[in-house]
């Protein structure tokens, strides 16, 4: 049975002061959260600052990226072992902003997936189609191909204790979310595809939705059977908005019995 997972992606925002204040506000707001899982992804240089406030809290740390190497002459990169050293639990990989601005391809992302699993971190594999692909009806094939790249390198077992975040690129930061019913269809197709390899992995994998999620629209996503949580950008930078999203997850009737 899957419970809801809510992750806040702070991207390249904030400074030491604002990030500290936001973290403290969330720790206070979530002191009684027990049913859903929550993580925050601050800019990497603040992971250690944030970590200190998360001791004894229910909030987990998430990185926004990871390098494919564990150490060596790779100036500017961050290794999975360094993230683990800071008690980071999750790492985003394949976010569309990295695919677009840093030209990361499916093969690079599969290597990142591998290194995270090797070190024991949980990959959040971000997938999703652009507007042209959406308009042409290619959403499901784009998503499946992005998943296939992982299976090709690592096998279906890699998806045990991993997370997929379906994020249509056109919905990210646009203020226009995908319709919950369409997201449900995409999530179901992803789960069915994984089930064609392994039914138990498919049943257990968490599939989040991301793209202009707000406190107002989030419940409609949670109401869909195959949506197991949300990856939140802009709304996670505001303590009140993110708290409302997490409180909605906490009160929701999920996990559904099978």
Instruction: Give the residues lining the site for ligand PEP (CB under 6 A).
Output: 9, 167, 172-173, 210-213, 231-235
Minimum CB distance to ligand PEP, residue 232 (Å): 5
Backbone φ and ψ for 121, nearest 5 degrees, come out as: -90, 160
Among candidate residues 97, 104, 167, 187, the one labeled active-site is 167
* 102 tagged catalytic: no
Minimum CB distance to ligand PEP, residue 234 (Å): 4
* Short-list 158, 65, 53, 48, CA closest to 104: 65
Q: Which is nearer to ligand PEP, 202 or 242 (CB)?
A: 242
Residue 73: how many other CB atoms lie within 10 Å:
6
Q: Which is nearer to ligand PEP, 93 or 231 (CB)?
A: 231
CA-CA distances (angstroms) from residue 11 to 63, 205, 233? 10, 25, 7
Minimum CB distance to ligand PEP, residue 254 (Å): 20
* 97 tagged catalytic: no
Q: Which is nearer to ligand PEP, 42 or 211 (CB)?
A: 211
Angle among Cα 189, 192, 194 to the nearest 5 degrees reads 110
Angle among Cα 198, 115, 106 to the nearest 5 degrees reads 70
Among candidate residues 58, 95, 97, 104, the one labeled active-site is 95
What letter does residue 177 receive in the DSSP assignment? P
255 upstream amide cis, omega within 30 of 0: yes
Question: Residue 37, by phi and psi: left (phi above 0), alpha (psi -120 to 50) or beta?
Answer: beta
Minimum CB distance to ligand PEP, residue 221 (Å): 12
Position closest to ligand PEP via CB: 233
Q: Which is nearer to ligand PEP, 69 or 238 (CB)?
A: 238
Q: Give the residue numbers marked as catalytic.
A: 95, 167
């Amino acid at each position: 049975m899957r419970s809801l997972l809510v992750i806040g992606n702070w991207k390249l925002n904030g400074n030491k002061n604002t990030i500290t204040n936001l973290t403290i506000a969330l720790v206070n707001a979530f002191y009684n959260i027990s049913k859903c899982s929550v993580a925050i992804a601050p800019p990497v240089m603040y992971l250690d600052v944030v970590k200190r406030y998360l001791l004894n809290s229910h909030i987990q740390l998430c990185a926004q990226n990871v390098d494919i190497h564990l150490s060596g002459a790779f100036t500017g990169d961050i290794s999975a072992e360094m993230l683990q050293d800071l008690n980071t639990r999750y790492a985003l990989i394949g976010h569309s902003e990295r695919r677009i601005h840093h030209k990361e391809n499916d093969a690079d992302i599969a290597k990142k997936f591998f290194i995270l699993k090797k070190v024991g971190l949980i990959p959040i594999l971000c997938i999703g189609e652009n507007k042209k692909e959406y308009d042409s009806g290619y959403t499901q094939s784009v998503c499946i191909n992005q998943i296939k790249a992982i299976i090709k390198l690592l096998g279906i077992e890699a998806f045990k204790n991993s997370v997929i975040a379906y994020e249509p690129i056109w919905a990210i930061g646009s203020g226009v979310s995908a319709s919950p019913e369409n997201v449900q269809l995409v999530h179901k197709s992803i789960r069915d595809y994984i089930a064609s390899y392994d039914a138990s992995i498919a049943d257990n994998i968490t599939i989040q939705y991301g793209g202009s999620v707000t406190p107002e629209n989030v419940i409609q996503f949670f109401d869909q059977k195959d949506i197991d949580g949300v990856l939140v950008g802009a709304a996670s930078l505001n303590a009140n908005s993110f708290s409302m999203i997490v409180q909605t997850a906490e009160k929701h009737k999920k996990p559904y019995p099978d």
